[in-house]
A and B are shown apart, each in its own frame.
Chain A
């Protein structure tokens, strides 16, 4: 058994099945509870990432930083040296915001793999699942897992199975729409206000537009169990940011109104 399976995949698959057994053998609820638990366990990483991002943004708004950009505009090497010096002075790590994300990455991939593997709807998948099961509990009594949840068969894409009647042969992909909505909300609420014209900000705006559509497309094409994970993860993410007081509701207001408001009331930074 490889390290990935031993450290990440096996604990996740077995936890998922164990939770499933305690939740009236409802795999949909198991995915929701398991996603919440994983988000809670990785909360310190999320919090650290948020703090680092915030510190970095504050620093980049400072006069010292802006002056430095102007002063060394034509000398990239010197600019980098000066930036590093400022990072040191301010006690901000340039990797502070991306390192926790990198650490969370295997967790997210593991969670995805655990859900897909636990659903096991074909012989190869089921055979593969048997190799991940710990011997000290009676998983045989639970397998195959009950894939049905609300109107969904969690092992199939919503477009292929839905108990909601289709309209003119088209099944409304409710979960995919929820994924688009919650991803959009999450990215809008968590992105701090940015200066118009800033290249990084423009890129960020494009990401905010494409990412929800991209996630929606994945939710539409992949088994709905994964889409359920996306929605839960987004909602928990928004709640976590909310609890930390980091949600920026102004980002929900269209940019035109937002700029008007800024002109009349002066710029405000988020908490």
Chain B
């Protein structure tokens, strides 16, 4: 009987430990990799570590932390500052500054009350870091808090700024976009409710317009003067828009969760062309990358597409069997970098003709 009692007790303990591990999601990825690059290295933040990868051959330069800690996970896109810092937010509610060259930790900002899902903006010697605690933190380059702006919703997107960094534009999950004074964090305006969460960053146009996609299946052009709506564009099938559009030569490019991809005239919201889901095979989460007249799109099916400016598919490459891509593609040293999940490769580099150059698989 005593034997059974212990067995029952041990059974409960085993189930409790297993379930808590699932609840904590410590080792289960809860987002996709954050990716940025300079002319030497690509920086990938994924799960328990941040990696610096040599662009020449895809070898690992450094990783942070050296040994994984299940309580410290990174998914936000890292941001490089001009003084050589790599700023990366963590799901442990801390914002980290690392030495981009060595991976050594410079400082930690510990005052947020929730995860850092969004990437930080570094501009005019300041770091603007939105956290999921509904605050936008402004820090100096030594990690000292300058001011805090509180919105009514979490922000999962990197803020954008104007040419002189006088004003910050912050999209939030409370269905609004905010304009905030970059000097002191006061609110300048708040857009009307846009009918759905604004998950992605706004695109900032040449004439100061802001373009944001929403979960309401609409792309809005907002005036940067007062946040009023200038025009709106509805997606086919009311597809929810995750990421912000990319603007190039007066054309807005973006995809939606129904798998459509659009080119829109930025001046009036007229559709120039669209690609249906049958051609792209999968949800489009990441913003497209536009280089000259070429557009690079990644889809959930784990495919990287190259289109020309008229929407013709020039080539496509699958990153791996069963892999998915939600991270936007990045360009560095004439390479197109993609960061898939659910495959061994954490980073894959293609040349602009679609040739696979190298892939990076982190060594355990």
Residues of A within 8 A of B (CB): 121-127, 130, 135, 140-141, 143-144, 157, 161, 199, 202-203, 206-207, 210-211, 213-214, 217-218, 221-223
Give chain B residues whose Cβ lies under 8 Å from the Cβ of A207: 8
Q: Which of B23, B24, B195 contacts A141 (CB 8 A)?
A: B195
Interface size, chain B (Cβ < 8 Å): 42
Residues of B within 8 A of A (CB): 1, 4-5, 8-9, 12, 15-16, 19-20, 23-24, 29-32, 75, 91, 113, 115, 117, 132, 153-154, 156, 173, 175, 195-197, 199, 214-217, 238, 240, 242, 257, 283, 285, 326
- Evaluate whether A140 and B257 lie within 8 angstroms (CB atoms) in the complex, with A122-B30, A202-B1 already known: no
Query: A207 — nearest CB in chain B belongs to which residue?
Result: B8
CA distance A140 to B154 in the complex (A): 16
- Evaluate whether A222 and B23 lie within 8 angstroms (CB atoms) in the complex, with A122-B117, A140-B214, A203-B8 already known: yes
Q: Which of A123, A203, A223 contacts B4 (CB 8 A)?
A: A203
Give chain A residues whose Cβ lies under 8 Å from the Cβ of B32: 123-124
- Evaluate whether A210 and B9 lie within 8 angstroms (CB atoms) in the complex, with A122-B31, A125-B30, A143-B197 already known: yes
Give chain B residues whose Cβ lies under 8 Å from the Cβ of A223: 23
Is B197 a contact partner of A218 (Cβ separation < 8 A)? Answer: no
- Report 16 cross-chain contacts, Cβ distance below 8 Å, ordered by A residue: A122-B31, A123-B30, A123-B117, A124-B31, A127-B257, A140-B196, A140-B217, A140-B240, A141-B196, A143-B215, A157-B23, A217-B16, A218-B23, A221-B16, A221-B20, A221-B23
Is A140 a contact partner of B216 (Cβ separation < 8 A)? Answer: yes
Give chain A residues whose Cβ lies under 8 Å from the Cβ of B113: 161
- Evaluate whether A143 and B196 lie within 8 angstroms (CB atoms) in the complex, with A202-B1, A221-B23 already known: yes
- Evaluate whether A144 and B285 lie within 8 angstroms (CB atoms) in the complex, with A202-B1, A206-B5 already known: no
CA distance A222 to B21 in the complex (A): 10
Is B8 a contact partner of A144 (Cβ separation < 8 A)? Answer: no
Give chain B residues whose Cβ lies under 8 Å from the Cβ of A140: 195-197, 214-217, 238, 240
Knowing that A121-B132, A221-B19 are A-B contacts, what are 19 other residue pairs whose CB atoms are under 8 Å apart, sorted by A's residue number? Answer: A122-B30, A122-B31, A122-B115, A123-B31, A123-B32, A123-B156, A124-B29, A124-B32, A127-B326, A140-B197, A140-B216, A143-B196, A203-B4, A206-B8, A206-B9, A210-B8, A217-B16, A217-B20, A218-B23
Query: A156 — nearest CB in chain B belongs to which residue?
Result: B114
CA distance A125 to B25 in the complex (A): 12
Query: B15 — nearest CB in chain A belongs to which residue?
Result: A214
Give chain B residues whose Cβ lies under 8 Å from the Cβ of A161: 113
Give chain A residues whose Cβ lies under 8 Å from the Cβ of B257: 127, 130
Question: Lowest 10 A-B CB distances belong to which pairs?
Answer: A122-B30, A140-B196, A123-B31, A140-B215, A221-B20, A222-B23, A140-B216, A214-B12, A210-B12, A217-B16
CA distance A186 to B333 in the complex (A): 65
Query: B113 — nearest CB in chain A belongs to which residue?
Result: A161
Nearest CB on B from A229, distance (A) = 14
CA distance A204 to B24 in the complex (A): 31
Give chain A residues whose Cβ lies under 8 Å from the Cβ of B19: 218, 221-222
Query: B214 — nearest CB in chain A belongs to which residue?
Result: A140
- Evaluate whether A124 and B30 lie within 8 angstroms (CB atoms) in the complex, with A143-B196, A210-B9 already known: yes
Query: B75 — nearest CB in chain A belongs to which residue?
Result: A123
Nearest CB on B from A128, distance (A) = 10
Give chain A residues whose Cβ lies under 8 Å from the Cβ of B283: 127
Give chain A residues whose Cβ lies under 8 Å from the Cβ of B75: 122-123
- Evaluate whether A144 and B173 lie within 8 angstroms (CB atoms) in the complex, with A123-B156, A127-B326 already known: yes
Query: B29 — nearest CB in chain A belongs to which residue?
Result: A124
CA distance A141 to B240 in the complex (A): 11
CA distance A19 to B117 in the complex (A): 29
Give chain B residues whose Cβ lies under 8 Å from the Cβ of A221: 16, 19-20, 23-24
CA distance A143 to B215 in the complex (A): 8
Give chain B residues whose Cβ lies under 8 Å from the Cβ of A203: 4, 8
